[in-house]
C-alpha cells in the first residue's frame, strides 16, 4: 500500500523482500545471486543491490565469497526486538493521543468493534490481522515518520514469530482488553496512559513468546 520512504527504482527489492517475509525462502537457505536472478527474471546487479539493502535492514546475512542467506533471529533477539518495538510503539501511541482527531478516534473504535466481532465468531487469524491493522493505524495517527519507519523494519524481522501468539489459550481475550485500553487512552487524549497501555500490551506479547515455539 503505502511505502514510507522508497525509491521506486527497484521492484526487485520488493519482490525479494516479500519472498523472505512470506517465508518462501527458508532461513539458512543459500541465496545464490545468479539463482535468484534467473528465478525472478531480474539482472544479477539488481539482486545484488537488493541484497545489500536487505542486509542493512537485518533481513539477510552476507558473507564475502560465501553468499547470502536469510537471517534467522533467535528467541533472545526476538525478545530484544519486541522490547524495542514496545518503547517505540509506546512513543507512537503517546503522539497519537496528542494528535488524534474525533474522526481518528471513531476509526479506532470501529476497528476495535470489528475485532470484538471476529473474536466472537472464533476467527482468530482474522482477529490477528485486524490487530495488525489497529497497530498500523495508531502508527499512522502518530504522524511520527521516524518511529513508523523503525517499527516497520523491526516487524519484518520477526514475522515468523508474530503470527501465532493469538493462538495461546486465553490470549485473545487478554489481547482484546489490552487493545481496548490503548484505544480508550488515545480517545481520552491521555498520552501517558496511551504509552503505558501500549507498553503493557507488548510486554505481554513478549511474555507469551517463549511459551510458544
Partner DNA sequence: CGTGCCGAGCTCGTGGACAAGATTGTCGAC
Partner DNA sequence: GTCGACAATCTTGTCCACGAGCTCGGCACG
Interacting residues with a copy of itself (CB under 8 A): 7-9, 48-49, 52-53, 55-57, 62-64, 77, 80-81, 83-84, 87-88, 90-91, 144-147, 150, 154
**48 lies in the binding site for DNA (CB under 7 A):** yes
- Interface region with DNA, contact rule CB under 7 A, candidates 16-24, 28-36, 82-90, 179-187: 28-36
Of 1 and 34, the one with the shorter C-beta distance to DNA is 34
Q: Is 27 in the site for DNA (CB under 7 A)?
A: no
Task: Check residue 5 for interaction with DNA (CB under 7 A).
Answer: no
Helix 171-187 to helix 75-99 angle, to the nearest 10 degrees?
Answer: 30
If binding is defined by CB under 7 A, does position 49 make contact with DNA?
yes
Quickly count: other Cβ atoms within 10 Å of residue 102's Cβ: 8
Contact 51, 60 (CB under 8 A): yes
CA distance 33 to 127: 38
Position among 43, 117, 207, 212 found at the interface with DNA (CB under 7 A): 43
DSSP structure string for 123-146: -HHHHHHHHHHHHHHHHHHHT-HH
> Quick one: what does residue 53 bind among DNA, a copy of itself, none, with the CB cut-off 5 to 8 Å set by partner type?
a copy of itself
- In the list DNA, a copy of itself, none, the entry touching 3 (Cβ below 5 to 8 angstroms by class) is none
Q: Which three cell numbers stand for residue 111?
A: 476497528
Report the DSSP pairing between strands 30-31 and 60-63: unpaired
Q: Per CB under 7 A, does 22 bind DNA?
A: no
Our CB check for DNA shows the closer of 33 and 195 to be 33
Subset of 55-94 contacting DNA (CB under 7 A)? 62, 64-68
Q: From CA 56, how far away is CA 93, in angstroms rounded?
A: 27
In angstroms, the CA 124 to CA 43 distance is 41
CB 139 within 8 A of CB 148: yes
C-alpha cell at 70: 536469510
17 binds DNA per the rule CB under 7 A: no
Q: Which is nearer to DNA, 30 or 213 (CB)?
A: 30
Rule CB under 7 A: which residues touch DNA?
A: 9-10, 30-34, 42-46, 48-49, 62, 64-68
Amino acid at each position: 500500500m503505502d511505502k514510507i520512504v522508497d525509491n521506486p527504482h527497484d521492484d526487485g527489492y520488493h519482490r525479494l523482500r516479500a519472498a523472505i517475509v512470506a517465508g518462501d525462502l527458508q532461513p539458512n537457505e543459500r541465496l545464490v545471486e545468479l539463482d535468484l536472478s534467473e528465478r525472478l527474471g531480474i539482472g544479477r546487479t539488481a539482486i545484488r543491490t537488493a541484497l545489500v539493502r536487505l542486509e542493512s535492514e537485518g533481513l539477510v546475512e552476507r558473507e564475502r565469497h560465501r553468499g547470502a542467506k536469510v537471517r534467522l533471529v533467535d528467541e533472545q533477539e526476538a525478545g530484544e526486538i519486541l522490547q524495542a518495538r514496545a518503547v517505540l510503539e509506546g512513543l507512537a501511541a503517546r503522539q497519537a493521543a496528542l494528535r488524534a482527531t474525533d474522526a481518528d478516534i471513531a476509526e479506532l473504535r470501529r476497528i476495535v468493534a470489528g475485532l470484538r466481532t471476529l473474536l466472537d465468531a472464533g476467527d482468530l487469524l482474522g482477529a490477528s490481522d485486524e490487530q495488525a491493522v489497529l497497530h498500523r493505524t495508531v502508527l499512522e495517527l502518530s504522524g511520527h515518520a521516524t518511529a513508523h519507519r523503525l517499527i516497520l523494519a523491526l516487524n519484518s524481522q520477526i514475522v515468523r514469530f508474530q503470527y501465532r501468539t493469538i493462538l495461546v489459550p486465553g490470549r485473545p481475550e487478554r489481547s482484546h482488553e489490552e487493545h481496548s485500553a490503548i484505544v480508550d487512552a488515545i480517545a481520552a487524549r491521555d498520552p501517558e496512559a496511551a504509552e503505558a497501555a501500549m507498553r503493557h500490551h507488548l510486554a505481554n506479547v513478549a511474555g507469551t513468546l517463549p511459551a510458544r515455539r
